[in-house]
Each structure stands twice: as structure tokens, then as C-alpha cells.
Amino acid sequence: MRFAAHVEVRLRPGIADPESATIERALPALGFDDVHELATGRSFRFEVEAESAESARVRAEELAGRLLANPVMEDATVSVSEPVRG
Amino acid sequence: MAPRVGVVVFPGTNCEHDVASALTLVGAEPTFLWHRDRSVGDADAVVVPGGFAHGDYLRAGALARFSPIMDAVSTFAAAGGSVVGICNGFQVLTEAGLLPGALQKNNTLRFMCAPVVVTVASDRSALTGGIPVGTELTLSVNNFDGSYVCDAGVLDALRAEDRVVLRYVDNPNGSIDDIAGICNQGRNVVGLMPHPERASSELIGSADGLVLLRSLLSVAVA
């Protein structure tokens, strides 16, 4: 079976994020002065062949930990859906 | 015999000829190592030069560490061989786990191409052996992701073990503890963001990089 996986990678708390800070500084000029704590990140979507959603999650977490995120400065959140095809 | 230095070339590396030229100036015999090679050959030392290995896709250096040559470089380093990563090469070495920490975007959010002054912070590394601590060198940086970051435990270890090799005099990018270069516990693997090869002649503003490259050769063949 194939399971759809979604990995979201964000900078860890405490790691300077000048890109997000710059975006946030631009917001008041657009009238979005009610928006705070903006954070950028990366999103990866892929399909994992696996016997179960749990084993698909384990594989997706391995991939996130070994490649998609650099654990020195990034955290990854992994989610796996129900099978997308048989 | 001239010391042989392997210069690693990934698709997207762009400083290999500058590095080879500067190495020749200090009497070395450079050899290019293609990223698909599985051996560093008879190299006395290995340099991973700057550029944009594999397009810097995903993160700088993230994909380069999967190139076959990196297994050979890791084996060479584990046996005590001198390995120096310059700029993108430093990023590759951190991603490959040969050096701790990571390089993140400059806090200026700018690609920085400028001369910087660094001081030698340790004279015990493959790149700075024999250069007195406190020596100021004018080199140039040329990067977007040049800001060194690591967790508090790693930083404590780097300081306690005298593994910060170079520090910026005037920190240009937000690097933690003004770090411009570090080495591993074995002191034979060094990563630095400034480019010694771009400071290889007074004609181009500085020849201070040759001081580092000479040290690399003398340590490598010692």
C-alpha cells in the first residue's frame, strides 16, 4: 500500500530566523499589524510504500531525520494519512 | 616530492581551479577528485572547495554528503588524514557529520562577498598548525549561508577543547562566538567559511591565504 506523507520542517526555537523577522517587519505596511510570531518553513509531500500507516510513519520519520531536516537547527513534524492507493 | 592534495569536485563546485592554483603556488601537486570517485587516491591531504554542490538544493551541502567520494573522504579523515572544507566545503563537512554544527543564513540576509579579517584562535589544527595564535589574516567570504550555529553543548566543547580555529574580528554574519572556522576532535578535519585561495596574491588584495595553505601542507606531510 502507499501512504501519503507530509513533513514540515521549521527552524528550532532559539535559532535566529532573519527571513521570518524580515517578513514580519513588512506586515504593518500592508495593514497586517495584527499578525505576530510568523515563522517560515518547508513542506515536503511524498508517498511511502508500506504495510501499515505506522510503518509508513517510521520510514517518513527516518527520511525527515536523515535528510529533510538538519537536526542542528531544524525540527520536523511528520504526518501520514490513510492509504492513497492499494 | 611535492605534497599531493585531492580537490573534491561536485556538480556545482566552482572554486576548484582557484584552490588548485593556490595550492600550486605553495608547492603542492593538486589532483581533482570527481564526486563519483570512490577513493582519494594517494592524496596527502584533501580539500573540499567552495561552490554550490548539487545546486545547494534542500540545504547547502545536504545532498553532497551522499556522493561516493564522501565515503572515501570520511575514511581518509578517520585514518587521520588532513581534510579542509572551504565555504560550501565546510557546509558539506557539517552535513556529512565530519564537523559539528551547521551553517545558516547570514543574519544580514545578504549574499556576502567581501574581505574579512580573521584571527587564528588555535594553532593546533590541520590548517593552522604552527601559525601563532592571534595572527590576523585578511581573507574573503563569499556566501549566503555563512552563519555558524551549534547547540550550547557543542559550543562548550569547541571552546574547552581549543577547537575554534579562526574567529572574525568584526563578525559579518551573526556566527555564534564569532566563529569563522573549527576543527574536529582529532584536529585533522577543519572547516572555514573564508576562502584562503582567494587571498593568494597581493595583486588581488591579500596573500594571507597562503599562510594557511602552507600550514596545511606542512601538517599533512609531517
- B195: helix, coil or strand? strand
In angstroms, the Cα distances linking B187 to B79, B83, B96, B154, B220 are 12, 10, 17, 15, 12
Q: Which residue among B62, B100, B107 places its CB closest to the CB of A16?
A: B107
Give per-residue pLDDT as tens, B123-175: 999 999 999 999 999 999 999 999 999 999 999 999 999 999 999 999 999 99
Residue with C-alpha cell 547547502? B60
Q: For helices B16-25 and B209-220, give the axis angle rounded to 10 degrees.
A: 70
- B221: helix, coil or strand? coil
Give per-residue pLDDT as tens, B28-53: 999 999 999 999 999 999 999 999 99
Separation in Å, CA of A2 to nearest CA in chain B: 24
* Mean pLDDT across chain B: 97
Q: Do A18 and B101 touch (CB under 8 A)?
A: no
- Top residue of A17, A23, A70 to mutate, by most chain B CBs within 10 Å, is A70
Q: Examine the residue annotation and report whether B195 is marked as an active-site residue of this protein.
A: yes
- Can you state the percent helix, strand and coil of chain B, rounding each to 5? 30, 30, 40
Report the pLDDT averaged over residues B183-198.
98
**A26–chain B Cβ distance below 8 A for any pair:** no
User: Residue B203 pLDDT more than 80?
Assistant: yes
| Nearest residue of chain A to residue B147 (CA atoms) | A16
**B221–chain A Cβ distance below 8 A for any pair:** no
Residues 45-64 (A) with a CB less than 8 A from some CB of B = none
Report the pLDDT averaged over residues A72-80.
96
Q: What is the pLDDT of residue A76?
A: 97
Q: What is the pLDDT of residue A86?
A: 58
User: Residue A49 pLDDT more than 70?
Assistant: yes
**B157–chain A Cβ distance below 8 A for any pair:** no
Nearest to B96, CA basis, from B10, B18, B210, B198:
B10
Give per-residue pLDDT as tens, B83-130: 999 999 999 999 999 999 999 999 998 999 999 999 999 999 999 999
Phi-psi region of B166 (alpha: psi -120 to 50; beta: other; left: phi over 0): beta
Residues of A within 8 A of B105 (CB-CB) are 18-19
Q: Where are the domains of chain A?
A: 2-85
In angstroms, the Cα distances linking A23 to A35, B57, B184 are 11, 22, 36
Q: Do A15 and B94 touch (CB under 8 A)?
A: no
In angstroms, the Cα distances linking B221 to A19, A20, B66 are 44, 47, 29
Residues of A within 8 A of B149 (CB-CB) are 15-16, 72-73
Residues of A within 8 A of B150 (CB-CB) are 72
Ordered by where they begin, the domains of chain B are 4-220 (3.40.50.880)
User: Residue A85 pLDDT more than 90?
Assistant: no
Report the pLDDT averaged over residues B180-200.
98
Report the pLDDT averaged over residues B10-27.
97
Q: B13 pairs with which residues across the strands?
A: B51
- The complex's ipTM? 0.82
Residue A80 phi/psi, 5-degree rounding, is: -130, 135
Grade residue A84 by pLDDT with cuts at 50, 70 and 90: confident
Q: Which residue among A11, A16, A67 places its CB closest to the CB of B174?
A: A16
- A3: helix, coil or strand? strand
Give per-residue pLDDT as tens, A13-43: 888 888 899 999 999 999 999 999 999 999 9
Q: Is A2-85 in CATH node 3.30.1280.10?
A: yes
If one counts every other C-beta atom within 10 angstroms of the C-beta of residue B38, the result is: 10
Phi-psi region of B61 (alpha: psi -120 to 50; beta: other; left: phi over 0): left
Q: Examine the residue annotation and report whether B95 is marked as an active-site residue of this protein.
A: no
Nearest to A48, CA basis, from A4, A85, A6:
A4
Determine the distance from the C-alpha atom of residue B146 to the mean position of all C-alpha atoms in its chain, rounded to a whole number: 12
- Top residue of B54, B65, B104, B144 to mutate, by most chain A CBs within 10 Å, is B104
Q: Do B108 and A18 touch (CB under 8 A)?
A: yes
| Nearest residue of chain A to residue B60 (CA atoms) | A70
**A29–chain B Cβ distance below 8 A for any pair:** no
Catalytic position from the list B15, B35, B54, B87: B87
